[in-house]
A and B are shown apart, each in its own frame.
Chain A
Amino acid sequence: MNARQGFIGQSVERREDSRFLTGKGQYTDDITLPGQTHAFFLRSPYAHARITAIDTSAAAKAPGVVGILTGDHFKAVGGLPCGWLINSLDGQPMKEPKHPVLADGKVRYVGDRVALVVAETLEQAEAAAGLIQVDYEELTPVVDAVTAPTIGSAVHDDVTDNRVYQWGIGDKDGTAAAMAGAAHVTTLSYRNNRLIPNAMEPRCANASYDVNADNYTLYVSNQNPHVERLLMCAFVLGIPEHKMRVVAPDVGGGFGSKIFLYGEETAIVFASKQLLRPIKWTSSRSEAFLSDAHGRDHATTVSLGLDKDGKFVGMQVHTTANLGAYLSTFASSVPTILYATLLAGQYATPKIWCSVDAMFTNTAPVDAYRGAGRPEATYVVERIVETAARELGMDPAELRRRNFIKSFPYATPVGLTYDTGDYDATMTRALELADVAGFEARKAASAAKGLKRGIGYSAYIEACGIAPSSVAGALGARAGLFEAGEVRVHPTGKVTIFTGSHSHGQGHETTFAQVVADKLGIPMDDISIEHGDTGKVLFGMGTYGSRSLAVGGTAIVKAVDKIIAKGKKIAAHLLEAADTDIVFEGGEFKVAGTDKKVPFAAVSLTAYVPHNFPHDKLEPGLNENAFYDPSNFTYPAGTYICEVEVDPLTGHTRIDRMTACDDFGNVINPMIVEGQVHGGLAQGIGQALLEHGVYDTETGQLLTGSFMDYAMPRADDLPSFNVETAKGTPCTHNPLGVKGCGEAGAIGSPPAVINAICNAIGVKDVPMPATPYTVWKAIQAAR
């Protein structure tokens, strides 16, 4: 396509902003239905306990109470399903105990749902919940994944060692042999800290049942409404799928946490038919901390072997992954398929072996959070490579260059085939942008002020655009991972696009319209983008894994191509020419080599007023849909460079420079793409310096349960960013040549920050988050 004409490649201002800037956005909690009731969930105060009795009789008589449901009401329905089957090395399937909608005889984390109270007002529901008598028999909580196999307490009674699976990928023996022959081996052991996603809009759902039509409507703050509907209907509640409409209206951020099917919305859908009233539940922030799926929480040991020339010969990785109390929707895939397959990074390491022990603990479920496995993989690779360079006294950039993959396609030893890339280009440009040449002078200036300056690198790769369904299926996915799009051309030539992708901040209403406007040669104002409603959109797998443009956008392009192909036939009839002589350019169908032409809107009108129409060859109307299943992942990559100043007296770290140079392939809207990188950088820096979901190891109580205890990055914690999108290597297997940009910032930045701090204070490792106290302790220990 003509990639640089028209709207594609332009920083078009976002069309969705008008409503967001004037208070007219419509988020789920903004919707109030006639006869609305309100839900409050009574949650477990214990990390691990048996429920010996529940007495709701007093609560049921409280003012305004409409109904109370407990685990007994859900005994006949299914558990919340996990969408990815992982088999252990011994061939056994992962342990998959039931994830009940409401706790069934046992609570397994602080915040586990015990009872649902529905009342006329939220205050009444909360007050009534306080009258429910629950008798608990406390059990020993399992908090730490590393000690979970030996602690002698089982989160699920039939999984006595708390192990979900023991999985591996790569060449175990070959890697061991390579490591034995290495001239130098560098080893690191560390924790990848637990994070709590904290989209600014807390989760919310509003469910109603129409007794006359016998159907349900669920408004829910969610990233993939069709998947939500499918899982809830087919696996849990047994509702016929066509009897349920799921609407995800404006959604205030997701970052993964709103991919999943949760018990809260499932419970209120079930209860809406029992009680015949619409039920709204809005999470408080305190509940969000307890009950949203968390992210990361790995304990990892990695060894990298190098030959005498600094070439990587092998890498061994072992990770213990904390999956929390239950398997959330995609939990099992995160520390395996989405993690270990990225351990080659940008390097031609010939031998890799990674084994993973995934554990149940009495903590909130852990699942995909911005990057989902790929930040953890990048942290492994980019920390060990930098550490090896420092140990060998080599320039970290040079050591990377020496090991970069240079020819494509490249099949890694961990299952992926990179289609394209130019790692040297993004590295070279990042070094310029960061003015690495001036680092020593800046370091001296810092030293003169008593401050320690350090520089750290990270050269990340990620796999986006998940995924070829056949590959995903072979790896255990229980879903297809295509995307659907529909192009509805109206008689006047105006166009409505229906996409299975969902925007919760990414700006699809703008970016997708840019693509369609260029393809059809019509103004963006003539195009509407509809998403997030199973009642409108034919199907969708939703938005996560930086897949919307690469997969969802491609589905739209393919549907537009069908529109143009049909339009050519109509135009050929109108122009009395052969179909094959018609070309479409600039919004007009033309007979090639002549001045005979007909505009797009005249063709669309003819399609719907088919008086003069080739009825013998075509059906009237101009409406097409397409399903697109990619042939490979896309592989965005880049180099990030962080420069910090550490105050050795306080341990305080200030990021002085944060530089990102990314290869996202072709770019539709640079402004939006850079905005995505900025947000990812903030979350990655947040992980490196500030954020940590902490449970008390004795009691399993969440210690970081509010914005006063969990350090969200704020404006004055962060620097301005130096972000550049490289000209890039277009993706070779989708028609837009795009790769995905939503997660890169969060993937690439944590190791760059920690590498910089280690360089500044001269230590091998600093744990994340590198708070002032942590850094100060590291300085003291190194003295």
Chain B
Amino acid sequence: MGMQITLTVNGETVTRETAPNQLLVHFIRDTLRLTGTHVGCDTTQCGACTVHVDGRAVKSCGMLAAQAAGKAVTTIEGLAAADGTLHPMQAAFRSCHGLQCGFCTPGMVMSAVDLVQHHGCHNEAQVREALEGNICRCTGYHNIVKAVQQGAAAMKA
């Protein structure tokens, strides 16, 4: 029942066994032991499992691991620079207090980076609409919206 897939994860090529029905999020968490990607629901609603696949934000609970074969996956562990310098969006979340318990944060940051990279202008209303697929229970989104706007400016700088 097993099958082998080869893909790039955070810049490194990995070849691992997967089952045909294994979700990408479980491959990331259980097989690769990259536990920064979280599972917050079972209906593809909360966005805690958001990663990048070939540079686009994807809810990794809505995709099979096998579908990621040959693709480049970036998780929250792969976002900062190799020397540990935080990505501008990570830095913005910290300086704006855009996180509290931290559970939704990896998915929120990955969504925010995708928003900036692929969707033009970022006024408050646009940021709020774009984050509709990521649920946070702690922050009331107020500081997350500020962080995304600040992170967007830093990414363009």
Contact = CB atoms under 8 A, between A and B. Distances in A.
Contacts of A713: 140-141
B83 to A, nearest CB: 13
B45 interface: yes
A671 B138 CA distance: 14
A720 B41 contact: no
Contact of B138 (A19, A26, A253, A708): A253
Given A20-B99, A201-B103, A252-B102, A285 B41 contact: yes
A506 interface: yes
Contact of A23 (B36, B128, B135): B36
Contact of A679 (B29, B48, B100, B135): B100
Interface residues of A, number: 58
B interface, over-half SS: loop
Nearest to B107: A200
A30 B77 CA distance: 14
Contacts of B144: 715
B140 A23 contact: no
A190 interface: no
B102 A721 contact: no
B127 A22 contact: no
Contacts of A252: 38, 40, 101-104
A428 B18 CA distance: 63
Nearest to B78: A23
B124 interface: yes
B60 interface: no
B76 interface: yes
Given A252-B38, A707-B45, A675 B143 contact: yes
Residue from A285, A715, A721 having most chain B Cβ neighbours under 10 A: A715
B95 A200 contact: no
Residue from B86, B93, B141 having most chain A Cβ neighbours under 10 A: B141
A22 B77 contact: yes
Interface string B88-108: 001001110101111111100
A16 interface: yes
B101 A21 contact: no
Residue from A24, A198, A253 having most chain B Cβ neighbours under 10 A: A253
Contact of B95 (A13, A250, A682): A13
Given A23-B75, A678-B139, A200 B48 contact: yes
A64 interface: no
Interface string A502-538: 0011110000000000000000000000000000000
Q: In the complex, which range does the number of interface residues on chain B fall in?
A: 35 or more
A351 B140 CA distance: 37
Contacts of B50: none
A150 interface: no
A723 to B, nearest CB: 8
A107 to B, nearest CB: 22
B131 A675 contact: no
Contact of B140 (A250, A504, A682): A682
Contacts of B101: 199-201, 250-253, 504-505
A716 B132 contact: yes
Interface in A681-718: 681-683, 706-708, 712-716, 718
A285 B42 contact: yes
Nearest to A121: B30
A507 B145 contact: no
A672 interface: yes
A73 to B, nearest CB: 28
Contacts of B93: 17, 21
A14 B97 contact: yes
Nearest to A706: B43
Contacts of A253: 100-101, 103, 137-138
Nearest to B87: A21
Contact of A22 (B33, B90, B95, B137): B90
A27 B103 contact: yes
A293 to B, nearest CB: 16
A208 B105 CA distance: 30
Contacts of B65: none
B90 A21 contact: yes
B41 A201 contact: no
Nearest to A282: B39
B136 A200 contact: yes
Contacts of B141: 678, 682, 713-715, 718
Contacts of B129: 715-716
A564 to B, nearest CB: 31
A718 B140 CA distance: 8
A284 interface: yes
Contacts of A30: 29, 35
Nearest to B35: A30
Residue from A199, A252, A707 having most chain B Cβ neighbours under 10 A: A252
A25 interface: yes
B129 to A, nearest CB: 5
A21 B86 CA distance: 8
A716 B134 CA distance: 11
21 contacts: A11-B97, A20-B102, A21-B102, A23-B35, A23-B37, A32-B33, A199-B103, A200-B40, A200-B101, A200-B104, A200-B135, A251-B101, A253-B138, A255-B137, A682-B141, A706-B41, A714-B131, A715-B145, A716-B131, A720-B145, A721-B142
Interface of B: 29, 33-43, 45-46, 48, 75-77, 79-80, 86, 90, 93-95, 97, 99-106, 109, 124-125, 127-129, 131-132, 134-145
10 pairs of A and B residues whose beta carbons are closest in the complex = A23-B36, A252-B103, A20-B102, A682-B140, A505-B101, A505-B100, A707-B45, A678-B140, A30-B35, A23-B76
